[in-house]
Structures are given as structure tokens and as C-alpha cells.
Structure 1
Amino acid sequence: MNFVRRDIILIVGLFLFMIGLLPFMAPIYAVLIVLGMYFGIKVYVGKRRQLIENDVGEGICMECGSKILNKKCPKCDYIQE
């Protein structure tokens, strides 16, 4: 879980959410909920990013949109040969 610039927006949003929770519950519970949400979002985004990177592989063909394997498109490059 690396810290990237857009995490600042996530932290600010969760801080504002925590401020919204304070009138309804004790501050420690609001902090625990926000911390759980932060790490839950970070884990979810990390898993999704890894899944997308595995699906894309070396890249995507600009012509047909399929996954590039061995620096060749399985659809476009074999049609031309």
C-alpha cells in the first residue's frame, strides 16, 4: 500500500466523514470507523489495480482492443501474415 497524491483527497474526505459522525457517537468509534474505511478502500483499490494489470498484460491493441501477447496482437497480427 503505497501513499500516492490522490490519497490526500481520500484522507480529507474521510476526515470530513468523521466530523459528521461525531454528533452521533463517541470520537474513538468515529476514528475507528474511518480508519477501517481507509484501509478497506486501500486494499480494495490495490486488489482491483492488480487484477487490471494482470488482465492487460503487456498492453492493449489499438485496433481491436485485445490483449497483446509476445509483443503481437493475437487477432490483428495473425490476420496480416
Structure 2
Amino acid sequence: MKFERRDLLLIVGLLLFMIGLIPFMAPVYAVVIVTIMYFVIKVFVGKRRKSIQKDVGAGICMECGSKLLDMKCTSCDQPSS
């Protein structure tokens, strides 16, 4: 989990969420909840990014959008019979 620029937006959003929780619970609990939310979101996004990277592989075809295998489209580069 490395820090990226978009994490700043996540942190600001979670801080605002924490401020919204403070009237309903103790500030310590709000901080704990927001901290747990931050790490859960980071893990979810990391796993999702890995699955997308695995699906895309070498890239996608600009014509049909299918996955490229050996730099050839599985749909467009088929010999038409």
C-alpha cells in the first residue's frame, strides 16, 4: 500500500465523515472507525486493481475491446472463413 495522490482526496473525505460522526459518538471511536475505513478501502482498491490488471494483461483491442494475446486480438485477428 503506497501513498498516491488520490489518497489525499480519500483522507479529506474520511476526515469530513469523522467530523460528521463526532456529534453522535466519542471522538476516539470516530477516529478508530475512519482509520479502519481507510485501510479497508485501500485493500479493496488494491485487490480490484490487481484483478483488472490480470484481466487486461498486455492490453485491449481498440476495435472491439477484447483482451490481447501475443499482441493479437482474439476476436479481430481471426481468419475469416
Aligned mates of 2:74, 2:21 — CA distance in 1: 53
Any unmatched runs of 5+ in structure 2?
none
1:79 to 1:63, Cα distance in 2 relative to 1, 3 A: farther
The CA distance in 1 between the partners of 2:74 and 2:24, in whole Å, is: 57
Q: Specify which structure has the higher proportion of strand.
A: 2
Distance (whole Å) between structure 1 residues aligned to residue 13 and residue 75 of structure 2:
44
Provide the rounded CA distance (Å) in 1 between the counterparts of 2:47 and 2:59: 19
Q: In structure 2, what is the Cα distance between the partners aligned to 1:4 and 1:79?
A: 44
Hey, what does 1:66 align to over in structure 2? 66
Identify which range, 28-37 or 66-75, moves more after superposition: 66-75
Which residue identity lines up with residue 75 of structure 1 in the other structure?
A: S
What is the identity, as a one-letter code, of the residue corresponding to 2:61?
C
Q: What's 1:17 paired with?
A: 17
Provide the aligned length of Structure 1 versus Structure 2. 80
Q: TM-score, normalised by structure 2?
A: 0.92
Q: Distance in 2 between matches of 1:70 and 1:38?
A: 38
Q: CA deviation at 1:79?
A: 2.4
For residue 56 of structure 2, what is the aligned residue in structure 1? 56
Please state how far the C-alpha of 1:31 moved relative to its aligned partner: 0.3
CA RMSD, Structure 1 to Structure 2 (Å): 1.1
Q: Report sequence identity in percent.
A: 69
TM-score scaled by length of structure 1: 0.92
